[in-house]
Amino acid sequence: MSKEIVVSGIRSTGHLHLGNYFGAIQNYVMMQENYNCYFFVADYHSLTTHPDPKLLRPNVFRVLAENIASGLNPDKVTLYAQSDIPEIPELYLMLNMLAYKGELEKVPTFKDKVRQQPDNVNAGLLTYPVLMTADILIHKAVKVPVGKDQEQHLEMARNFAQRFNTRYGDFFPEPQVFRFNTDAVKIMSLDGNGKMSKSENANNTIYLSDDDDTIRKKIMKAKTDSGPTAPNAEMPGYIQNLFLLMQLTSTHEVYDHYRAAYNGCNIRYGDMKKQLAEDMAAFVRPIREHAAELQKDEESLGKILKAGAEKARASASATIAGARKLIGISYY
């Protein structure tokens, strides 16, 4: 039986963090054996914020190295840079004809960007979900492992796929969000304000490249309060986030111990954070060290991207040929 096709991407806009790891990469690693996986660095998507051209290459190599250091095996999955696949912008152009200004303007991530960068509300930002759809449909993927923040984009991808199929004939499957644990993981910033993110809030974000001391400092500064005042009290979001991180990195015993302390109103957040800091440092350390090692050998990383691009283009060109035919682009 042929394996189901999976696509996902990560923007090369900065250092990868725990949100990227637990929201996406952990699922990638778990999928690599049993699915036909295409994972890419979304360097075109990063251009919406006009990054310094000198930073593109190191950023792409870092994302690639951190993915491999997290456990992705380039022999098992296809790893490539989005910009190496010219069929993606071609499909993006085709899909743009089926995407409407009104619906794109309503997308919450677009509205956020308009607020964050009012001087640079470019068309690439507006059509960001269309490019994402092209990334997915170019391989006719059925499953897309992403964090909670990308779910709305996936819904749009299904709409665009459906619209194409209605107009030109059944061609694209409707891609679904996929994750192994049914709960969507959303890692919040350590100050409790919004999600952990690559570009904002460095002091409240734990990066896969952070050293042990930096991790300790950040976790010890994470927002807490004077503790629950009634047994089994509901947790505020920032405390929930610390427990989530503990659940993801500490042992069951440790997690259960602090959970019981919380429920019994005798939790000492200082002790909890000390424990979490040590467990987190131990968790990140091997990834950081392996990624640093890999980044020293750009030639090997380049070879991985090149081999990945060849495999990805084989699949992409078949899709584009089919789409052109259905649209009627066939002149000689």
Residues that bind ligand TYM (CB under 6 A): 7-11, 19-20, 23-24, 42, 45, 132, 135-136, 144, 146-147, 149-150, 185-187, 195-197
Q: Which is nearer to ligand TYM, 237 or 270 (CB)?
A: 237
Q: Which of 16, 12, 8, 68 minimizes the C-alpha distance to 197?
A: 16
Q: Exposed, middle or buried, 102 (CB in 10 Å: 0-12/13-18/19+)?
A: exposed
Q: Which is nearer to ligand TYM, 10 or 219 (CB)?
A: 10
Structure tokens at 5: 């096709």
Residue for token digits 């584009």? 320
Q: Minimum CB separation from ligand TYM for residue 66, in Å?
A: 11
Q: Minimum CB separation from ligand TYM for residue 220, in Å?
A: 20
**Annotated catalytic residue 113:** yes
Q: Which is nearer to ligand TYM, 145 or 228 (CB)?
A: 145
In angstroms, the CA 107 to CA 99 distance is 12
In angstroms, the CA 191 to CA 117 distance is 23
Which of 54, 143, 148, 198 is flagged as catalytic?
A: 198
In angstroms, the CA 205 to CA 18 distance is 8
Q: Minimum CB separation from ligand TYM for residue 271, in Å?
A: 26
In angstroms, the CA 197 to CA 189 distance is 7
Which of 101, 106, 111, 113 is flagged as catalytic?
A: 113
Q: Which of 236, 233, 225 minimizes the C-alpha distance to 265?
A: 233
Which of 143, 195, 218, 273 is flagged as catalytic?
A: 195
**Annotated catalytic residue 195:** yes
Q: Which is nearer to ligand TYM, 113 or 288 (CB)?
A: 113
The sheet that has 5-11: what strands, in order across it? 78-81, 36-42, 5-11, 143-144, 176-177
Q: Which is nearer to ligand TYM, 10 or 246 (CB)?
A: 10
Active site residue ranges: 113, 195, 198
